[in-house]
Chains A and B, each alone.
Chain A
Amino acid sequence: MEKERMPLGQAIFDELFLLFLLSLIISLILYNVWGLLDLLRTPLLPP
């Protein structure tokens, strides 16, 4: 019996570990790193 080929989209959606890594990378870079860099760039109060 020939098996129907698994669509790529379904294979990606089934790969929980991949989604997990992407989630962590997106959140850490866009929210944490970018945000903390913004705070670090705050200039000192001019005299």
Chain B
Amino acid sequence: MATQAIPLGEEKAIFRVCPVTRLRVDLAAERMIIANATAAVVFLLVGGIMGLLLALTRWEAIHLLPATWYYRLVTAHGFNMLVAWIVFFEAAGLYFGSTVLLNARLVSPRAAQAAFALMLLGALLVNAIVLAGHADVMFTAYVPLKAHPLFYLGIILFALGALTAVVLFFANIFVARLEGRYTGSVPLVVFGLATAAIIATYTLLSGAIAFIPAFFWSLGWLRTYDPGFYRNLFWGFGHPAQQINLAAMVAVWYALAAITVGATPINEKLCRLAFVLYILFINLGAAHHLLVDPGLSFAWKMFNTSYAMYLAVLGSLIHAFSIPAAVEVALRRQGYQRGLFEWLRRAPWQEPGFAALVVSMILFGWLGGVSGVIIGTEQLNMQFHNTLAVPGHFHATVVGGTTLAFMGLTYYLIPLIFRRELRLKRLATWQPYVFGLGMLLLILGFLFSGTLGVPRRHWGVFTTPAIFSSLIPEPARLSLALAGIGGIIAAIGGAMFVLVVLSSVLTGAAQEARSLRLVLADPADPPEATEIAHVEPRGTFLIMLAFLAFFILVYSRNWWLLGARGWLVH
């Protein structure tokens, strides 16, 4: 009965067939993917320039910006990177996953255009109002610090647009199923994107619940807004927003592994279980920001900060194993069988997608994941709350992890979706390494500064004109300089990315894609592919044991450091 109400859009949608993947691409969907991806890269460029200026201000030997502009740009940088760049790219990813990968059509091109317009309008409004100096309140906008009403309105408009895109994603899948465009389970990458979309729904609803009263309060329609309530509601938006990135990034990791080495999931059940754990428990991690807040019980903090017994961490530990394992199994099947690590030595390190995958996984897991669990432990959080270690953690996850993975995928969208030849291939090969090195230094600089007590969002602990000294230990000058140098290198890596993308899109020859890989066509001396029924990822298992040992060591050390504090507290 319900099926009759849904029109078969075959006559309206116009498809082309991709010569490499044999997938059917709805041209309306393709246009929306291009629009969202382009907006994403533009905001990345703007936010990146701001990021460089900020890094050069925190490096107190340089101390580039005056205080007011420093705070203004922290606000704008946070919004442009954490919200605009990432969500525009995710919208592109959602359209890609729900149409191209399922041979399906975009159900409503008009709704997709409306979503895009709302998001663009909201993002421009926020930028305008912040840069005009009417919203120096940070990305978090903690009540009762008040911004101009248009600031809240801009965020609400953006969230509404993003919500429309998420609803369209589900509608596309639903209609594709009804029209019989795919049968059985959706591919794992689409399942990962669905995870991101589910988390996004809760996130965007929370955002509305947090910001709509703030909007009314800024207009004077609401007299008071409890700061504790705002923090609970805001972080229901702010933290899961980053978990959308996590889920989308993991989906992109699986995609990059498939594109660059032809990896297939080693065990669909295991991989999907990890995504289901995200769906069910990861939103609880919003509590990470409230661990030293007044008014919340130990039981609430412990249960929520641990995602109900670290079940979402378990999900990440599963992906951390299953993705390299899939790569290892694929490469071993191609004949790289010798020893534990021949597959790793002979992997396509020059292929930008593979480089981005590996660097992104290392920065995300070894630095971002481990620091996240430590900072998110109830008592350990007293050593880290609002210190520079927190940006250290999320630059490892969102920048080293998500942004780099998305950059890696963008290179493949250029031939497949933009249908342009990738130019400056050598630059593309080097880009993930340069960007990764810069982020590594920046992250380490931030983490060390944080453990020395340097606060985040602070114009200067050594250069402050305050009447008393901050008493921050001198070595923090070095760690802040390290972060500044990392920021410069990362900015170069970011510029390389923008250069490759722009020159390919604007001047690359218009042509149909010819192969999935960009730089390497085939290995120079292909070994004999072997027909083995069963391949064990032994090398990956060993790497994971080393990772676990590192995790245990760093985690234990932080308990020891807390126990050695010169002030007792309870």
Contacts and interface: CB of A to CB of B under 8 A. Distances in A.
Q: Do chains A and B touch in the complex (CB under 8 A)?
A: yes
Interface of A: 9-10, 13-14, 16, 19-20, 22-24, 26-27, 30-32, 34-36, 38-39, 42
B232 A36 contact: yes
B202 A27 contact: yes
5 contacts: A30-B303, A31-B284, A32-B236, A38-B296, A39-B228
A38 B186 CA distance: 41
Given A23-B279, A31-B287, 8 more contacts: A13-B185, A20-B201, A23-B280, A23-B283, A30-B308, A31-B232, A35-B232, A38-B296
Contacts of B469: none
A38 to B, nearest CB: 5
B427 interface: no
A6 to B, nearest CB: 10
Contacts of A32: 206, 232-233, 236
B236 A31 contact: yes
Contacts of B186: 14
B503 to A, nearest CB: 40
A37 B223 CA distance: 21
Given A19-B198, A35-B304, A26 B228 contact: no
B295 interface: yes
Interface string B303-323: 110001000000000000000
B286 interface: yes
B305 to A, nearest CB: 10
Contact of B236 (A14, A22, A27): A27
Nearest to B170: A16
B229 to A, nearest CB: 6
Contacts of A38: 295-297, 300
A20 B281 CA distance: 11
B226 interface: yes
Interface string B386-411: 00000000000000000000000000
B112 interface: no
B225 to A, nearest CB: 13
A24 to B, nearest CB: 6
B323 to A, nearest CB: 19
Nearest to B273: A13
Given A13-B272, A39-B232, A22 B304 contact: no
Nearest to B209: A32
Contacts of B303: 30
Given A16-B194, A19-B280, A26-B283, A31 B201 contact: no
B271 to A, nearest CB: 10
B199 A23 contact: yes
Given A31-B286, A39-B296, A20 B279 contact: yes
A22 B297 CA distance: 24
A16 B276 CA distance: 10
Nearest to B185: A14
